[in-house]
Amino acid sequence: MELKTYVCPNCGANTTNAQNCEYCGSLLVRFVEKGIDVKSISYLNSNDWVFPGLIENLQKNLQLQADNPEGTDVRTDICGGEVYISVFSPAGKLWTWDDGTVIDFTSTNRGLLIILTFYDVVYQENKGFRTSQMQRPSKYMSKLLRQDSYKRNFKDLEMYPIFMSREYAEDFEFSNGYETHKESFIKTSISYAIDFGQDAEGAARLISRILLKVYGVSRQNNGIRITTNAGALDIEKAAKENNSIYTGIDKDFDSEMNKKSNEAFIYNIIGIIVVIFSVIVSFVGC
Ligand SMILES: [Zn+2]
Protein backbone atom coordinates (compact mmCIF):
# COMPACT_ATOMS: atom_id res chain seq x y z
CA MET A 1 0.00 0.00 0.00
CA GLU A 2 1.30 3.40 -0.92
CA LEU A 3 1.57 5.78 2.01
CA LYS A 4 -0.03 9.14 1.55
CA THR A 5 2.34 12.06 2.10
CA TYR A 6 1.48 15.55 3.29
CA VAL A 7 3.56 18.73 3.19
CA CYS A 8 4.01 19.94 6.77
CA PRO A 9 2.85 23.58 6.97
CA ASN A 10 5.30 24.17 9.85
CA CYS A 11 8.63 22.88 8.50
CA GLY A 12 7.83 22.12 4.84
CA ALA A 13 8.95 18.47 5.02
CA ASN A 14 7.08 15.65 3.30
CA THR A 15 5.49 13.59 6.06
CA THR A 16 3.49 10.37 6.05
CA ASN A 17 2.29 10.91 9.63
CA ALA A 18 -1.07 12.68 9.42
CA GLN A 19 -1.24 13.27 13.19
CA ASN A 20 2.10 14.94 14.00
CA CYS A 21 4.83 15.73 11.47
CA GLU A 22 7.57 13.14 11.90
CA TYR A 23 10.24 15.84 11.42
CA CYS A 24 9.13 18.77 13.59
CA GLY A 25 6.23 17.16 15.51
CA SER A 26 3.76 19.83 14.42
CA LEU A 27 0.09 18.83 14.40
CA LEU A 28 -0.67 21.22 11.56
CA VAL A 29 -0.57 18.21 9.22
CA ARG A 30 -3.96 17.24 10.70
CA PHE A 31 -5.51 20.25 9.00
CA VAL A 32 -3.82 19.31 5.72
CA GLU A 33 -5.15 15.76 6.04
CA LYS A 34 -8.66 17.16 6.54
CA GLY A 35 -8.20 19.42 3.51
CA ILE A 36 -8.31 22.62 5.60
CA ASP A 37 -6.04 25.44 4.49
CA VAL A 38 -4.03 26.40 7.57
CA LYS A 39 -3.88 30.00 6.33
CA SER A 40 -7.60 30.16 7.12
CA ILE A 41 -6.91 29.32 10.78
CA SER A 42 -6.21 32.75 12.15
CA TYR A 43 -4.48 31.78 15.39
CA LEU A 44 -1.80 29.89 13.48
CA ASN A 45 -0.40 33.18 12.22
CA SER A 46 3.10 33.23 13.66
CA ASN A 47 2.71 36.91 14.54
CA ASP A 48 -0.11 36.07 16.96
CA TRP A 49 0.36 37.48 20.42
CA VAL A 50 1.23 34.98 23.17
CA PHE A 51 1.15 35.28 26.95
CA PRO A 52 4.62 36.23 28.26
CA GLY A 53 6.63 33.25 29.47
CA LEU A 54 4.47 30.66 27.76
CA ILE A 55 6.84 29.73 24.92
CA GLU A 56 9.80 29.64 27.35
CA ASN A 57 7.90 27.32 29.72
CA LEU A 58 6.90 24.94 26.92
CA GLN A 59 10.48 24.90 25.64
CA LYS A 60 11.62 24.16 29.20
CA ASN A 61 9.05 21.33 29.32
CA LEU A 62 10.57 19.76 26.19
CA GLN A 63 14.09 20.31 27.52
CA LEU A 64 13.23 18.63 30.87
CA GLN A 65 11.80 15.67 28.94
CA ALA A 66 15.13 15.36 27.12
CA ASP A 67 17.25 15.83 30.26
CA ASN A 68 15.39 13.43 32.54
CA PRO A 69 15.28 9.61 32.39
CA GLU A 70 12.59 8.05 30.22
CA GLY A 71 9.27 7.85 32.09
CA THR A 72 9.76 10.99 34.22
CA ASP A 73 6.62 13.10 34.40
CA VAL A 74 7.00 16.68 33.20
CA ARG A 75 4.13 19.11 33.46
CA THR A 76 3.49 22.76 32.71
CA ASP A 77 0.56 24.24 34.64
CA ILE A 78 -1.18 27.34 33.35
CA CYS A 79 -3.59 28.46 36.04
CA GLY A 80 -5.18 31.22 38.02
CA GLY A 81 -8.79 31.78 39.07
CA GLU A 82 -10.88 29.22 37.21
CA VAL A 83 -8.24 28.56 34.56
CA TYR A 84 -6.49 25.24 34.66
CA ILE A 85 -4.63 24.01 31.60
CA SER A 86 -1.93 21.37 31.81
CA VAL A 87 0.74 20.37 29.34
CA PHE A 88 2.07 16.88 29.99
CA SER A 89 4.99 14.85 28.72
CA PRO A 90 4.00 11.73 26.73
CA ALA A 91 6.55 9.58 28.59
CA GLY A 92 4.93 10.29 31.97
CA LYS A 93 2.02 8.58 33.65
CA LEU A 94 -0.02 11.56 34.81
CA TRP A 95 -2.22 12.07 31.78
CA THR A 96 -5.54 10.28 32.15
CA TRP A 97 -9.13 11.21 31.53
CA ASP A 98 -11.20 12.01 34.64
CA ASP A 99 -12.46 8.41 34.66
CA GLY A 100 -8.87 7.22 35.12
CA THR A 101 -8.33 5.71 31.67
CA VAL A 102 -5.18 6.61 29.77
CA ILE A 103 -5.58 9.07 26.92
CA ASP A 104 -4.69 7.45 23.61
CA PHE A 105 -2.09 9.91 22.31
CA THR A 106 0.04 9.23 19.27
CA SER A 107 3.34 10.65 20.59
CA THR A 108 5.95 8.05 21.31
CA ASN A 109 8.71 10.10 22.91
CA ARG A 110 8.86 13.86 23.42
CA GLY A 111 5.90 16.12 22.98
CA LEU A 112 3.41 18.55 24.47
CA LEU A 113 0.08 17.03 25.46
CA ILE A 114 -2.40 19.77 26.24
CA ILE A 115 -5.35 18.88 28.47
CA LEU A 116 -8.11 21.06 29.87
CA THR A 117 -11.35 20.24 31.65
CA PHE A 118 -14.62 22.09 32.22
CA TYR A 119 -16.84 21.20 35.17
CA ASP A 120 -20.51 21.41 35.96
CA VAL A 121 -21.92 20.60 39.34
CA VAL A 122 -25.67 20.16 39.45
CA TYR A 123 -27.82 19.80 42.54
CA GLN A 124 -30.00 16.70 42.35
CA GLU A 125 -33.36 18.09 43.38
CA ASN A 126 -35.12 14.76 43.70
CA LYS A 127 -32.30 12.73 45.11
CA GLY A 128 -30.98 15.11 47.72
CA PHE A 129 -33.03 15.54 50.87
CA ARG A 130 -32.99 18.56 53.04
CA THR A 131 -34.42 18.90 56.49
CA SER A 132 -33.87 22.55 57.22
CA GLN A 133 -34.01 25.89 55.46
CA MET A 134 -30.34 26.74 55.34
CA GLN A 135 -29.22 24.26 52.73
CA ARG A 136 -29.63 26.09 49.46
CA PRO A 137 -26.51 25.49 47.35
CA SER A 138 -27.04 28.87 45.64
CA LYS A 139 -23.67 30.63 45.87
CA TYR A 140 -21.62 27.53 45.26
CA MET A 141 -23.79 26.40 42.39
CA SER A 142 -23.89 29.69 40.54
CA LYS A 143 -20.10 29.89 40.66
CA LEU A 144 -19.61 26.42 39.23
CA LEU A 145 -22.24 26.70 36.54
CA ARG A 146 -20.19 29.43 34.92
CA GLN A 147 -17.97 26.79 33.34
CA ASP A 148 -20.83 26.06 30.97
CA SER A 149 -20.04 29.30 29.14
CA TYR A 150 -16.37 28.31 28.88
CA LYS A 151 -17.50 25.09 27.23
CA ARG A 152 -19.56 27.02 24.68
CA ASN A 153 -16.63 29.37 23.97
CA PHE A 154 -14.35 26.39 23.50
CA LYS A 155 -16.67 24.86 20.90
CA ASP A 156 -16.43 28.10 18.91
CA LEU A 157 -12.67 27.73 18.52
CA GLU A 158 -11.36 26.85 15.06
CA MET A 159 -9.21 24.21 16.73
CA TYR A 160 -12.15 22.48 18.45
CA PRO A 161 -12.71 19.71 15.81
CA ILE A 162 -9.25 18.21 16.19
CA PHE A 163 -9.36 17.83 20.00
CA MET A 164 -10.15 14.47 21.57
CA SER A 165 -12.75 14.63 24.29
CA ARG A 166 -14.21 12.54 27.09
CA GLU A 167 -17.14 13.17 29.39
CA TYR A 168 -17.37 11.89 32.91
CA ALA A 169 -20.03 12.12 35.58
CA GLU A 170 -20.07 11.17 39.21
CA ASP A 171 -22.54 11.49 42.08
CA PHE A 172 -21.45 12.83 45.38
CA GLU A 173 -23.24 13.55 48.62
CA PHE A 174 -22.60 16.06 51.29
CA SER A 175 -23.66 15.49 54.88
CA ASN A 176 -22.74 17.58 57.91
CA GLY A 177 -22.74 14.51 60.11
CA TYR A 178 -25.75 15.70 62.18
CA GLU A 179 -28.36 14.24 59.80
CA THR A 180 -29.81 17.74 59.61
CA HIS A 181 -28.14 18.38 56.30
CA LYS A 182 -27.70 16.01 53.41
CA GLU A 183 -27.48 16.97 49.77
CA SER A 184 -26.81 15.13 46.57
CA PHE A 185 -24.91 16.54 43.61
CA ILE A 186 -23.87 15.30 40.24
CA LYS A 187 -20.50 16.49 38.98
CA THR A 188 -19.92 16.26 35.25
CA SER A 189 -16.71 17.06 33.50
CA ILE A 190 -15.68 17.24 29.91
CA SER A 191 -11.98 17.08 29.11
CA TYR A 192 -10.29 18.04 25.89
CA ALA A 193 -6.87 16.77 24.91
CA ILE A 194 -4.51 17.27 22.03
CA ASP A 195 -1.03 16.04 21.25
CA PHE A 196 0.86 19.10 20.10
CA GLY A 197 4.11 17.34 19.27
CA GLN A 198 7.23 19.44 19.73
CA ASP A 199 5.86 22.70 18.40
CA ALA A 200 6.28 24.92 21.50
CA GLU A 201 5.38 28.13 19.68
CA GLY A 202 2.24 26.69 18.07
CA ALA A 203 1.17 25.27 21.43
CA ALA A 204 1.78 28.67 23.09
CA ARG A 205 -0.38 30.38 20.46
CA LEU A 206 -3.18 27.86 20.95
CA ILE A 207 -3.07 28.17 24.76
CA SER A 208 -3.03 31.98 24.52
CA ARG A 209 -6.07 31.80 22.26
CA ILE A 210 -7.84 29.59 24.81
CA LEU A 211 -6.99 31.99 27.66
CA LEU A 212 -8.26 35.00 25.71
CA LYS A 213 -11.30 33.53 23.93
CA VAL A 214 -12.48 30.76 26.23
CA TYR A 215 -11.70 32.07 29.72
CA GLY A 216 -11.85 35.75 28.84
CA VAL A 217 -8.47 36.53 30.44
CA SER A 218 -7.20 39.95 29.37
CA ARG A 219 -3.71 40.42 27.94
CA GLN A 220 -2.79 42.60 30.91
CA ASN A 221 -4.04 40.10 33.44
CA ASN A 222 -1.09 38.51 35.11
CA GLY A 223 -3.20 36.48 37.51
CA ILE A 224 -2.25 33.52 35.33
CA ARG A 225 0.77 31.65 36.62
CA ILE A 226 2.84 29.35 34.46
CA THR A 227 5.10 26.78 36.10
CA THR A 228 7.01 23.84 34.66
CA ASN A 229 8.22 20.97 36.79
CA ALA A 230 9.69 17.51 36.41
CA GLY A 231 9.09 14.58 38.76
CA ALA A 232 5.84 13.65 40.51
CA LEU A 233 6.78 15.29 43.85
CA ASP A 234 7.69 18.69 42.39
CA ILE A 235 4.61 18.62 40.17
CA GLU A 236 2.36 17.88 43.14
CA LYS A 237 4.01 20.62 45.21
CA ALA A 238 3.54 23.16 42.41
CA ALA A 239 -0.09 22.14 41.92
CA LYS A 240 -0.78 22.80 45.62
CA GLU A 241 0.88 26.21 45.44
CA ASN A 242 -1.03 27.15 42.33
CA ASN A 243 -4.51 28.54 42.62
CA SER A 244 -5.76 25.68 40.50
CA ILE A 245 -9.38 25.13 39.62
CA TYR A 246 -9.38 22.02 41.75
CA THR A 247 -8.15 23.65 44.92
CA GLY A 248 -10.17 26.77 44.06
CA ILE A 249 -13.41 24.84 43.84
CA ASP A 250 -12.61 22.67 46.83
CA LYS A 251 -11.73 25.71 48.92
CA ASP A 252 -15.00 27.45 48.08
CA PHE A 253 -16.93 24.27 48.58
CA ASP A 254 -15.31 23.65 51.95
CA SER A 255 -15.82 27.18 53.22
CA GLU A 256 -19.44 27.22 52.01
CA MET A 257 -20.11 23.87 53.62
CA ASN A 258 -18.27 24.81 56.83
CA LYS A 259 -20.45 27.88 57.05
CA LYS A 260 -23.50 25.66 56.68
CA SER A 261 -22.13 23.21 59.23
CA ASN A 262 -21.57 26.09 61.64
CA GLU A 263 -25.11 27.28 61.08
CA ALA A 264 -26.34 23.74 61.66
CA PHE A 265 -24.23 23.57 64.81
CA ILE A 266 -25.74 26.82 66.13
CA TYR A 267 -29.26 25.56 65.40
CA ASN A 268 -28.46 22.33 67.21
CA ILE A 269 -27.16 24.27 70.24
CA ILE A 270 -30.30 26.42 70.23
CA GLY A 271 -32.33 23.21 70.08
CA ILE A 272 -30.47 21.77 73.09
CA ILE A 273 -30.95 25.02 75.07
CA VAL A 274 -34.68 24.95 74.30
CA VAL A 275 -34.87 21.34 75.51
CA ILE A 276 -32.95 22.14 78.73
CA PHE A 277 -35.10 25.21 79.28
CA SER A 278 -38.35 23.24 78.88
CA VAL A 279 -37.03 20.56 81.25
CA ILE A 280 -36.27 23.27 83.84
CA VAL A 281 -39.70 24.83 83.30
CA SER A 282 -41.39 21.44 83.75
CA PHE A 283 -39.43 20.88 87.00
CA VAL A 284 -40.35 24.35 88.26
CA GLY A 285 -43.92 23.60 87.22
CA CYS A 286 -43.91 20.64 89.65
ZN1 LIG B 1 7.10 19.51 10.14
Q: Is 278 a member of any domain?
A: no
pLDDT bin (cut points 50, 70, 90) of residue 183 is low
Centroid of ligand 1 to alpha carbon of 31 (angstroms): 13
Q: Is 98 a member of any domain?
A: yes
Structural domain harbouring 11: 1-38
135 and 262 share one domain: yes
111 and 17 share one domain: no
229 and 117 share one domain: yes
162 and 220 share one domain: yes
Centroid of ligand 1 to alpha carbon of 267 (angstroms): 66
- Residue 207: phi and psi, rounded to 5, are -65, -40
Centroid of ligand 1 to alpha carbon of 154 (angstroms): 26
91 and 129 share one domain: yes
22 and 158 share one domain: no
Pairwise pLDDT comparison (115 vs 240), residue with the higher score: 115
Q: Is 284 a member of any domain?
A: no
pLDDT (mean) for 198-203: 87
173 and 247 share one domain: yes
Pairwise pLDDT comparison (257 vs 161), residue with the higher score: 161
Q: Is 190 a member of any domain?
A: yes
Q: Is 12 a member of any domain?
A: yes
Tell me which range, 60-69, 101-110, 213-222, is most confidently predicted by mean pLDDT: 60-69
Q: How many domains does the chain have?
A: 2
pLDDT reading at 274 higher than 70: no
Note the pLDDT of residue 275: 47
pLDDT reading at 243 higher than 80: no
Note the pLDDT of residue 247: 37
151 and 11 share one domain: no
Centroid of ligand 1 to alpha carbon of 211 (angstroms): 26
Centroid of ligand 1 to alpha carbon of 20 (angstroms): 8
Pairwise pLDDT comparison (281 vs 109), residue with the higher score: 109
Tell me which range, 8-12, 171-175, 259-263, is most confidently predicted by mean pLDDT: 8-12
Note the pLDDT of residue 88: 92
pLDDT reading at 102 higher than 80: yes
Pairwise pLDDT comparison (134 vs 23), residue with the higher score: 23
Centroid of ligand 1 to alpha carbon of 86 (angstroms): 24
126 and 5 share one domain: no
pLDDT bin (cut points 50, 70, 90) of residue 229 is very high
87 and 210 share one domain: yes
pLDDT bin (cut points 50, 70, 90) of residue 68 is very high
Centroid of ligand 1 to alpha carbon of 185 (angstroms): 46
80 and 182 share one domain: yes
Q: Is 283 a member of any domain?
A: no
90 and 4 share one domain: no
Centroid of ligand 1 to alpha carbon of 66 (angstroms): 19
What CA–CA distance (Å, rounded) separates 214 from 231?
30
Note the pLDDT of residue 286: 38
Centroid of ligand 1 to alpha carbon of 203 (angstroms): 14
pLDDT (mean) for 10-22: 83
